Structure 1
Amino acid sequence: MKLSNKPAERFDWTLAFILLLFCIVSLTAIASAQTTGQYGINFVPKQIQWYVIGSIIVAGVMYFEPDQYKKIAWYAYGLGVFLLIFLHFAPGGEGQIAEVQNNVKRWLNLPVIGKIQPSEFIKTFFILGMARLVSSHHERFEDKTLKTDFFLLGKIMLVLIAPLVFIMEQPDLGTSIVFIAITAAIILVAGISWKIILPVFISGAAAVTTLLWAAIYAQDFMSETLGFDLYQFKRIYSWLDPYSFPTSEGMHLIQAITAIGSGGMFGKGFQGREAYVPENHTDFIFAVIGEEYGFIGSCIVISLFFVLIYHLTKIALELKDPFSMYVCTGIIAMITFHVFENIGMNIQVLPITGIPLPFISYGGSSLMSNMLAIGLVFSMKFHHRTYMFGADDDD
């Protein structure tokens, strides 16, 4: 079978159309969520600006081939870790290079670029580094043994530690869990023996269960020995019983549940919301969708994410280059976890972690980092078809 070498036919128009639909949903939801003068700014033009910049990023990233990304993968990973280290030591406060909000230092104020959140971008850089690590390992060790699998798993853990430590230090538990989810997905497809994977995942599940138990019944030990902050305990309590622990997170959750529940089957219509939900244009934008467009509108948005994840999975399975496949796997894991966590925290299935809804929540760093990741998928698909054209010439 011969595949066309024409750029217009190699471009993934389906993925582009899916992104267009997300843009429409995002602008509609943000326009409906914001109240005039609520924040002294109209977020819709800003989100359009981020989508335009994101589209330019996609075009620029798609220009380069997967082999080129494989060559610079460690440099990208190193840049991401450097930004996290720089953020950690940078002076924070008003007029400083690092911005502090709610006693948390997660943003850099850069000349020309403006305010960015390094942890958003390093997720994609981390995926590139992981993909390079696993693919290079398999090239070096063609004959798999338990010893080589243990060696690969150890290297994966080492690459994970650096960003994880500095992100936890911010503290940013939600983003830290995203890194763990990406790592788990890549481990699953890396070909490591189940004799190793199964005990590791069982141990991980046991550790999470133990930590949750300790957070409820052994707070002093968690705080004094492991260095957990009080705000992390409050989020767990407000998740399990928001009415008994009326913290800010608990109130957010109560209002989000109230908004979604009041939407009923068909919702209250555009700008018909009545429940007040803080941060409704960012972390809790799904509550706006649920209230104004009801169960039907919420299902449509969830279905759109399903279509995106399905399409990305289909691309990953089509790719013959291991590096490209691992990159797509990491991106799928990142987006999937974001969707599950954001929607889950809006309906009390999961604790509140401050993770935005991909491609819909307002935010420059979040949207541009997601577009950067999607740009890599465009590149893998675009240049993969060029490669396959030559490979299939004799079929």
Structure 2
Amino acid sequence: MDQYKKKADRFDWTLTLLLFLFFLVSCAAIYSAQASGQYGAKNFLLMQVFWYVIGAAIISVSIFIDGYQYKRLSWYLYGFGLILLLAVYLAPESIAPIRNGAKSWFVIRGIGQIQPSEFVKTFLILALSRVITSHHENHLEKTLKTDFLLLVKLGVTTAVPLGLIMLQPDLGTGLVILSILTGLILISGISWKIIIPIYSAGASLGALIFYLVLIKPDFLEKYLHVQTYQFNRIYAWLDPYSHATSSSYHLLKSLSAVGSGLITGKGFTNREVYIPEAHTDFIFSVIGEEYGFVGGSIVVGLFFLLIYHLIKTALDTRDLFNTYVCTGIISVITFHVFQNIGMTIQVLPITGIPLPFISYGGSSLMGNMFAMGLVYSIRYHHKTYMFSTDNSLQA
């Protein structure tokens, strides 16, 4: 009995409660979104419940593998992810069709669409975490040279999956990959003498490209062979009413839905604004319309609680590998939340990034649940040693 009690004490009940609340929010929002009549006989709610069950099974397996084993498996999972990305790029369209201009999914009869890049995010986090820990173990004396070497290692490790993802092309997931790299670089111990110049140069380059897109798009088309239509999302974001019937259609509908929800919303299933594909990327618009500012704030609050819990887990552990893993997961969740909610209210341009744990999508949910499985594992294998104020994890 004591053995079962000890195992129960090691289980992360806080994370379980948060995931259960996300499950309830997701089910309510998807049920309402699919009631618009656009989807015919498709029952996305039932499928989302199914994917949550699969996600729970993934967690139940992941929790019993400790950090040491994940560290050993990291390169195998990373390689497996690269094989999946290469396979989806090379596969015939009968298996990996082109949809919305991107070839990002395998279509499996009886199951649906599987998007490998959703799993590659977590595989990359494990690989980068191992790169950092192994580098510090092999270079005990820290210099600018060793820091620059670590930066190169991280960059190369990230560049391979990033390149394969951009070949699809999938800009949204590419940005998520970059957010993982950014988060891990910031806590990797690399000197700020290296980080500041590199990120300043990157920010300057981004600002220059943005300027050219707005002011001199002909320059990009003439010298870089970039087609101006590729910037329509930026134009639609900055001036949506000039593109109301084309690239700004979703944005204007989303703004109308969220704005009409006012403070308390119109009530469950009382939607009036039609938004295509509302059950996926624009699920927050459904929440904003039906539950208003109050409901939207509660959802944002849940994400803040989740991120706080992940930060606390990263700080509690004394195993650097696990700390880096938590940081990568925090980077993914934070970027997804800010980008998805931001694009529904015109704070950010529209990209195909779902709202974690709430938007419909099997690959996204399974990938996120695997990431949560890593957090469960870190908590479950957490050990406190007598006569020590430090907490430790299995190596």
The within-5 A match list for 1:241-260 is 241-246=239-244, 248-260=246-258
Shift of 1:75: 1.0
The within-5 A match list for 1:29-68 is 29-35=29-35, 37-40=37-40, 41-68=42-69
Matching residue of 1:193: 191
Matching residue of 1:291: 289
Matching residue of 1:15: 15
Shift of 1:245: 2.0
The answer to whether the 8 A contact 1:238-1:247 is kept is no
Unaligned runs of 5+ in 1: none
Matching residue of 1:118: 116
Letter in 1 for 2:49: I
1:66 and 1:390, CA in 2 relative to 1: closer, same or farther beyond 3 A? farther
Letter in 1 for 2:78: Y
Matching residue of 2:101: 103
TM-score (norm 2): 0.94
Matching residue of 2:270: 272
The answer to whether the 8 A contact 2:310-2:330 is kept is yes
1:248 and 1:151, CA in 2 relative to 1: closer, same or farther beyond 3 A? same
Quick one: distance in 2 between partners of 1:56 and 1:339?
24
Shift of 1:276: 1.1
Give the counterpart of 2:125 among 111, 124, 127: 127
Instruction: Give per-residue Cα distances to partners, 1:134-170, cap 9 Å, x unaligned.
Output: 0100011111000000000011110111111111121
Shift of 1:113: 5.6
Letter in 2 for 1:28: A
Instruction: Give per-residue Cα distances to partners, 1:288-315, cap 9 Å, x unaligned.
Output: 1111000011100000000000000000
Shift of 1:375: 0.5
Moved more, 13-22 or 225-234: 225-234
**Partner SS, residue 382 of structure 2:** helix
Quick one: distance in 2 between partners of 1:202 and 1:16?
40
Shift of 1:86: 1.3
Letter in 2 for 1:121: F
1:49 and 1:394, CA in 2 relative to 1: closer, same or farther beyond 3 A? closer
Quick one: distance in 1 between partners of 2:91 and 2:274?
36
1:83 and 1:223, CA in 2 relative to 1: closer, same or farther beyond 3 A? farther
Matching residue of 1:219: 217
Unaligned runs of 5+ in 2: none
Shift of 1:90: 1.2
1:180 and 1:224, CA in 2 relative to 1: closer, same or farther beyond 3 A? farther
Quick one: distance in 2 between partners of 1:309 and 1:372?
16
The answer to whether the 8 A contact 1:121-1:369 is kept is yes
Identity between Structure 1 and Structure 2 (%): 55
1:343 and 1:113, CA in 2 relative to 1: closer, same or farther beyond 3 A? same
1:361 and 1:226, CA in 2 relative to 1: closer, same or farther beyond 3 A? farther
Matching residue of 2:334: 336
Matching residue of 1:164: 162
**Partner SS, residue 244 of structure 1:** helix
Quick one: distance in 1 between partners of 2:225 and 2:86?
19
The answer to whether the 8 A contact 2:279-2:360 is kept is yes
> How many residues are matched?
387
Quick one: distance in 1 between partners of 2:144 and 2:175?
27
Matching residue of 2:181: 183
The answer to whether the 8 A contact 2:288-2:296 is kept is yes
Shift of 1:227: 5.8
Quick one: distance in 1 between partners of 2:68 and 2:366?
23
Matching residue of 1:85: 86
The answer to whether the 8 A contact 2:125-2:329 is kept is yes
1:181 and 1:227, CA in 2 relative to 1: closer, same or farther beyond 3 A? farther
**Partner SS, residue 98 of structure 2:** strand
Letter in 2 for 1:45: L
Quick one: distance in 2 between partners of 1:228 and 1:9?
57
Instruction: Give per-residue Cα distances to partners, 1:257-290, cap 9 Å, x unaligned.
Output: 0100000100000011111112111100101111
Quick one: distance in 1 between partners of 2:379 and 2:121?
20
1:131 and 1:340, CA in 2 relative to 1: closer, same or farther beyond 3 A? same
Shift of 1:384: 2.1
The answer to whether the 8 A contact 1:265-1:295 is kept is yes
Letter in 2 for 1:72: L
Shift of 1:109: 2.5
Quick one: distance in 2 between partners of 1:237 and 1:152?
38
Letter in 2 for 1:15: L
The within-5 A match list for 1:116-155 is 116-155=114-153
